[in-house]
């Protein structure tokens, strides 16, 4: 992982409160990025306000840049969302484990990607990484849910991925795009005909809890990307710990640091 000051290349407003920030990065940083990893971002103005950097998934990257999608929810995200071209940003990353390697072609498994709200930033990193390497997405489904049509960001790029074989299904709380309902309904329905699938999911905790329930009922393996609040991002503050089943002994529980041991965990292990 690297600790450096980067520069904003572009800040694109996607919705009223969601922004796509492209930042400069060294080639080494970009080579270390993999789908599901994240960065800690903060101001580089010397005022340390807010004091702590904030975690954001690395959504897409090239040879000398990377992008994050920022939803404004508080002070840190609001500050980052206002950074314009040329502004210096403190970056720490790539951090975390990312999604496991998955090659549906080799193991004949279908891959179901499940994204709720801003969870799409993490899930899209898997898709963009495949697209940028001209890798087929045959056998890959994306179930993408949000509150309404305007919250379904990146839709143009995701729709274009159907040329690579991606099967995209959207669902919204108000029915303004795709079916009306919750994203787990799409997963439940498709899992019935493909119970041996692999599943990667990212979204708000109630959604992840629901995905876990669906997976356990179907006796299907899957991975959840958690977004616990983080202070340091590199394993020293214990602010991000999550209770897990101790896989060596189902009767015992243990805690895991989401920043260094995650953010991606086997769904069967997480205790919500
Ligand atoms: C690994 C990881 C990846 C993430 N990726 C993204 C991403 O790609 N895009 C994105 O927009 N956000 C992402 N987040 C969430 C993002 O880090 C928080 O929204 C951000 O830190 C909030 O900082 P703030 O100063 O703006 O808000 P604060 O002032 O700290 O908090 C404002 C409100 O947001 C809530 N909040 C803060 N952090 C979280 C969190 N992690 N989960 C749920 N609620 C929270 C607080 O409880 C409070 O109600 C990610 C978080 C993690 C841990
Ligand atoms: S955020 Fe500090 S230990 Fe994980």
Ligand with minimal distance to 43 CA? 1
Intra-chain end-to-end CA distance of the chain, in Å? 29
**What does the pLDDT read at residue 250?**
62
Decide if pLDDT at 143 tops 80: yes
- CA of 235 from ligand 2 middle (Å) equals 4
- CA of 258 from ligand 1 middle (Å) equals 14
Ligand 2 atom closest to 237 (CA): 2
Decide if pLDDT at 105 tops 60: no
Say if ligand 1 is within 6 A of residue 46 CB: no
- CA of 262 from ligand 2 middle (Å) equals 11
The dotted CATH code for 2-95 is 2.40.30.10
**What does the pLDDT read at residue 195?**
80
> Does residue 120 contact residue 170 with C-beta atoms inside 8 Å?
no
- Mutation pick for ligand 2 pocket among 232, 242, 263 (CB with most ligand atoms within 8 Å): 232
Decide if pLDDT at 29 tops 90: yes
- CA of 141 from ligand 1 middle (Å) equals 26
Percent of the chain whose pLDDT exceeds 90: 86
Q: What is the pLDDT confidence band of residue 109, given thresholds at 50, 70 and 90?
A: confident
Decide if pLDDT at 168 tops 60: yes
- pLDDT by residue (tens digit) across 48-94? 778 899 999 999 999 999 999 999 999 999 999 999 999 999 999 99
When pLDDT is averaged across residues 217-241 and rounded to a whole number, the result is 96
Q: In the chain, which residues fall in CATH 2.40.30.10? A: 2-95
- Return the residue matching tokens 């709380």: 173
Angle of helix 183-193 relative to helix 205-218, nearest 10 degrees, comes to 20
Between the alpha carbon of residue 144 and those of residues 16, 79, 212, 268, the distances in Å are 20, 28, 16, 22
- CA of 229 from ligand 1 middle (Å) equals 7
In this structure, whether the domain defined by 104-228 belongs to CATH 3.40.50.80 is answered with yes
* Residue 161 in tokens: 């991925």
Say if ligand 2 is within 6 A of residue 233 CB: yes
Q: In the chain, which residues fall in CATH 3.40.50.80? A: 104-228
**What does the pLDDT read at residue 251?**
66
* Maximum CA extent, the chain: 55
Ligand with minimal distance to 72 CA? 1
Instruction: Please indicate, yes or no, whether the overall pTM of this predicted structure exceeds 0.75.
Output: yes
From CA 113, how far away is CA 79, in angstroms rounded? 31
């Amino acid at each position: 992982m690297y600790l450096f000051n980067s520069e904003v290349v572009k800040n694109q407003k996607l919705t009223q409160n969601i922004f796509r920030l492209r930042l400069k990065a060294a080639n080494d940083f970009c080579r270390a990025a993999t789908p599901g990893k994240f960065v800690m971002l903060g101001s580089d103005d010397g005022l340390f306000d807010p004091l702590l950097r904030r975690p954001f998934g690395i959504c897409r990257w090239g040879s000398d840049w990377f992008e994050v999608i920022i939803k404004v929810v508080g002070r840190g995200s609001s500050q980052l969302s206002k950074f314009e071209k040329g502004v210096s940003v403190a970056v720490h990353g790539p951090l975390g484990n990312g999604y496991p390697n998955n090659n549906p072609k080799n193991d004949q498994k279908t891959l179901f990607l499940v994204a709720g709200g801003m969870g799409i930033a993490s899930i899209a990193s898997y898709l963009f990484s495949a697209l940028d390497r001209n890798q087929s997405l045959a056998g890959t489904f994306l179930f993408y849910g949000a509150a309404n049509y305007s919250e379904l960001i990146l839709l143009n790029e995701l729709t274009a991925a159907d040329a690579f074989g991606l099967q995209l299904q959207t669902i919204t709380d108000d029915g303004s795009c795709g079916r009306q309902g919750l994203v787990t309904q799409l997963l439940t329905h498709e899992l019935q005909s493909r119970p041996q699938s692999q599943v990667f999911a990212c979204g708000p905790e109630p959604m992840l809890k629901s995905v876990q329930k669906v997976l356990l009922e179907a006796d299907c393996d899957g991975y959840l990307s958690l977004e616990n609040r983080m202070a340091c991002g590199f394993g020293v503050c214990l602010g991000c710990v999550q209770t897990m089943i101790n896989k060596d002994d189902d009767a015992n529980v243990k805690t895991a640091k989401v920043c260094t041991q995650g953010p991606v965990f086997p769904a069967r292990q997480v205790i919500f």
